[in-house]
Structure 1
Amino acid sequence: MRDLMVIGGGINGAGIARDAAGRGLSVILCEKDDLAAHTSSASTKLVHGGLRYLEHYEFRLVRESLQERDVLLRNAPHIIWPLRFVLPHDKGLRPKWMLLAGLFLYDRLGGRSALPKSRGVNLRELPHRPVLKERFTSGFEYSDCWVEDSRLVVLTAMDARDRGAEVRTRTRVTALERLPDRWRATLATGNGEEVIEARAIANAAGPWVDDLAQLGLAGEAKVHLRLVKGSHIIVPRKFAGETAYIFQNGDGRIIFAIPYEREFTLIGTTDLLFEGDRDTPEISAQEIDYLCSAASEYFRSPVTPDEIVSTYSGIRPLYEDNSAKNSTVTRDYVFEVDTHEGAPMLSVYGGKITTYRRLAEHALEKLAPLLGADETPWTRNAPLPGGDMPDADFKAFLWAASERWPWLPPEMLLRLARAYGTRIERVIGDATGLSGLGEHFAGDLYEAELQYLVDEEFAQTGRDVLWRRSKLGLHIKGDISSVIDRWLAAR
């Protein structure tokens, strides 16, 4: 019997499993699809305080997010890095004094930070002048961070496994029976059914959290979710450099335009109430029009639907706080802990990528006393796999890697270093040239990397490899996914 069963392989479930395993608990994590298969791979890919949340007086959430931004940057410098954002001032929208006040708070609310503070910027000068329309003459620049969101989930689950947790993907919980001192769960996999027992359950099923609560609590659980769809579009690169833009819209919302995968610009996101199939959310024509129109209000070169190369949509499982607008529903997290009539179940509502580590800590504050576990937090100063670089200095690490493997093409070396950090040596192994990496599939994808992803990162399909463990799907032409599937099937 396990101490804790975690249901859901998104960022919150992986975080709870990791924290619990590090406290000596026996943990099993079950995910019905792949890790980060849904909401956690469909974000805007930012570790940020949430500048716009200040308008809604969510000061605690912003403070915690800003503090966590620096913690995560230190613990995973390969997949998280600083990004500067330019916020043009639109004279018809928020007044300049309001933007100044918000950025003043943003710079200070989280305490001391390693990131540079905000400043004014002249949009008539390079590099912004050829990018933005002439009417935008001034604005502000501030700091936040980029994150490879699905890789953050995978690395967190890997660390949970390395600390003793059992991680099972493609494993659906089909039945839950509550006993006085344990839960009995029926699991469905490709090999049939299995029954396991655990002393407690952490329900981190995201858009399905209410379903699992109803399943376990015999229909007595309350419905707490508001499902809100957020969609993004990816277009060919709209501007040079590594600065991102944040644009205000007339409806009070904001969108981001971010340099993405060297060749592209990522634009998003939307906020629409969602009532469809939670497994397959898709962008609508309305959302495409909204994002293209909003970005075109700022860019000299308009964004048009015909230039979109890819899209993705995710469902935010927000805690229902009865806000009038989807964009103002709290992004904070809420726990429901049920200890009546038997073994405990903790259900997680809401949350955001930036605060996942603190969410997990708070979840263990609730669960550890019930399970007799160590109540001492430990993850704040614990690097994720590949993040154990001296002084969290990625540039120095990359320079050393280029000297160690001079035969790797620079773009390939950068991608591998970003993806795997100090574990890059496990991918490359004893190879002394590209031929030593095994079969070449396409682009800079070789057999050695695929084998590592299978052995270490739970990859089972071509889509796992091309869209969640990496974003090679954007760069490689042709049906490489089925080629990878055949290679995987042969093993």
Structure 2
Amino acid sequence: MSDDVDLFIIGGGVNGAGIARDAAGRGLSVVLCEKDDLAEGTSSRSGKLVHGGLRYLEYYEFRLVREALIEREVLLNAAPHIIWPMRFVLPHSPTDRPAWLVRLGLFLYDNLGGRKLLPGTRSLNLKRDPEGAPVKDDYSIGFEYSDCWVDDARLVVLNAVDASENGAEILTRTSCASLRQHEGNWIATVEDTKSGQSRDIRAKAVVNAAGPWVNDVIGRVAGSNSSRSVKLVKGSHIIVPKFWNGEHAYLVQNHDKRVIFINPYEGDKALIGTTDIAYEGDPDDVTVDQSEITYLIDAVNRYFKVPLRAHDVIETFSGVRPLFDDGNGNPSAVTRDYVLDLDQSRGAPLLNIFGGKITTYRKLAEQAVQDLNAIFPQMGANWTATKPLPGGDMDNADFETFLGMQQGLHPWLPRSLAKHYARLYGTRAAQIIGAASDMRHLGKQFGPLLYEAELAYLVKNEWASCTEDVLNRRTKHGLTVSPAQVSQIDDWFKNGIAQTA
């Protein structure tokens, strides 16, 4: 790849990958560098929802909610393999919010974004309707509304894949050591964090999408400053065995007026979160505190008959959300909106990204590239709103229809494995299966649904370079493999098989 490019992007989270995809698709030459793996930070540690943000209505964030609700359907159309509708049951607690306020909020939620694909809100009798079966008898009124689930890390990777296929260069495990101005351009010095090798890249413009590290890039790396900053807020989740029947999720209101999501996760598990705690440490070192686990368990136990205990927790994860600092001292009230700050004070432009959320990443990326139109007047028009992400081109078939078609093409493939491939890779599952005509052709089995063919695909096409990249981000096999199987995957990478598969 050339070392002279139009756009250099720092940060391989959802915003950076989205901007790389958008810009490359308009014909710009793009390099993206990420100091770790794609989505290794905030973008793989979210609540895994594409949603309007029902609770943001309380803070009068009507523009943000409307934009997010519109984007919810745009993304559902673009990636039906990794994004799908989910119904949320909200047991009403009269001690927290009055029923009329909840109904008003849900009415606005149904109508602000021009909803077309998802069913609207309905009222529930929790003593009669099956959704109320696991809920304590104290709660008799409930509401059910729609949002969407997303595999957050795969969303990032698929944006990077599309960017790459449009000509962008994606550099993982590559840090930006410095940025300096030279003859009207930026010179970015990047270093491979494994080999230590460095390289200079000349760019006409730089986008700083470093998330929690955005201010560090502005100051330490670029030697610049900004009047804007991010407020770091830690959000933690726990994973427990699923304790209700059905594919719906629950949303409960806690005593502190925060809401907690209780979502089905990977079939037989539940993902519960999130906390909202101001964070001042190193974003690389964020961990879940015992007090957060207790907080989440207590919130669940307030509503459900079968109590959760600490020993039910299978796994935890925590991420740092880089929210735009609007001066609000309450972490839950800090805006989830984004601000784009274009700095041209020293010549070549530096576009700093503050805030944002997964649901609005595509719109943020579109606006970010539009803000550079004066620098790149030759670039193409907006395009991402109507184009599917890789694997999402299902020709208007719903997921179950698509899955049935895949099983028809490969009757030897177990339904569980066919669904796994379809869910993660969509139409690109064909590249994993290839010419295989039976299970032997998928290679060595490393886990219940993990075969060598998938590992080889992830190395070749999705920048996977170690076991953790595969188990924790590009897939969720980490929840089902044994320690012995993890060791076997480690050996597969160490022995160089990954390079020749």
TM-score category (smaller protein):
over 0.9
Helix, strand or coil: the match of 1:326?
coil
TM-score by length of 2: 0.96
* Structure 1 SS opposite 2:285: coil
User: Does the 8 Å contact 2:37/2:173 carry over to 1?
Assistant: yes
Call closer, same or farther: CA 1:196–1:444 in 2, change over 3 Å: same
Instruction: Give the whole-Å Cα distance in 1 for the aligned partners of 2:24 and 2:254.
Output: 44
Partner residue of 2:246? 241
Q: What is the deviation of 1:219?
A: 4.2
Residues 51-450 of structure 1 correspond to what in structure 2 (within 5 A)? Answer: 51-189=54-192, 190-191=194-195, 192-222=197-227, 224-374=229-379, 376-450=381-455
Deviation at 1:481, TM superposition (A): 3.1
Taking only the aligned residue pairs, the percentage that are identical comes to 52
Q: CA deviation at 1:341?
A: 1.6
Whether the 8 Å CA contact 2:69–2:115 is kept in 1: the answer is no
Name structure 1 gaps, 5 residues minimum: none
Picking from 12, 15, 18, the partner of 1:9 is 12
What is the match of residue 470 of structure 2?
465
In 1, the alpha carbon distance for the partners of 2:488 and 2:218 equals: 39
The answer to whether the aligner puts 1:475 opposite 2:480 as a matched pair is yes
Q: Is the 8 A contact 1:178 1:216 kept in 2?
A: no
Query: Aligned in 2, Cα 1:250/1:361: closer, same or farther, shift over 3 Å?
Result: same
What is the CA–CA distance in structure 2 between the aligned matches of 1:83 and 1:417, rounded to whole Å?
18
Aligned residues: 491
User: Which residue is 1:27 aligned to?
Assistant: 30
Code of the aligned partner of 2:106: L
Once residues 182 and 190 of structure 2 are traced to their aligned partners in structure 1, the CA distance between those partners, rounded to angstroms, is 17
Q: Mark the CA change 1:485 to 1:372 in structure 2 (over 3 Å): closer, same or farther.
A: farther
CA RMSD of aligned residues (A): 1.1
Range that drifts further, 125-134 or 442-451: 125-134
Q: Distance in 2 between matches of 1:154 and 1:208?
A: 20
Matched-pair contact (CA < 8 Å) for 2:176–2:221: no
Task: Return the match for 1:37 from 40, 50, 53.
Answer: 40
Bigger CA drift: 474-483 or 398-407? 474-483
Q: Read off the aligned partner of 2:255 and give its amino acid letter.
A: G
Gaps of 5+ in 2: none
How big is the shift at 1:369? 2.0
Distance in structure 2 (CA, Å) of the matches to 1:180 and 1:480:
53
Aligned partners of 2:373, 2:472: CA distance in 1, in Å? 35
- CA distance in 2: counterparts of 1:217 and 1:184, whole angstroms: 10
Q: For 1:209, give the aligned amino acid.
A: V
Normalised TM-score (structure 1): 0.98
Contact 1:228 1:273 in 2 (8 A): yes
- Whole-angstrom distance in 1 between the partners of 2:139 and 2:204: 59
Label 1:215 to 1:199 Cα distance change in 2 as closer, same or farther (>3 A). Answer: farther
Q: Is the 8 A contact 2:89 2:131 kept in 1?
A: no
Higher mean C-alpha deviation, range 274-283 or range 226-235 = 274-283
Offset at 1:482?
3.4
Aligned partners of 1:460, 1:194: CA distance in 2, in Å?
21
Residues 195-204 or 211-220, more deviating: 211-220
Check conservation: 2:177, 2:221, Cα contact below 8 A. no
SS in 2 for 1:64: helix
Rounded to whole Å, the distance in 2 between the matches of 1:380 and 1:290 is 39
Higher mean C-alpha deviation, range 456-465 or range 388-397 = 388-397
Instruction: Give the Cα separation in 1 of the matches to 2:320 and 2:104.
Output: 32
Please list the CA deviations of residues 246-270 of structure 1 after superposition, one character each: whole Å capped at 9, or x if unmatched: 0001111100000100111110000
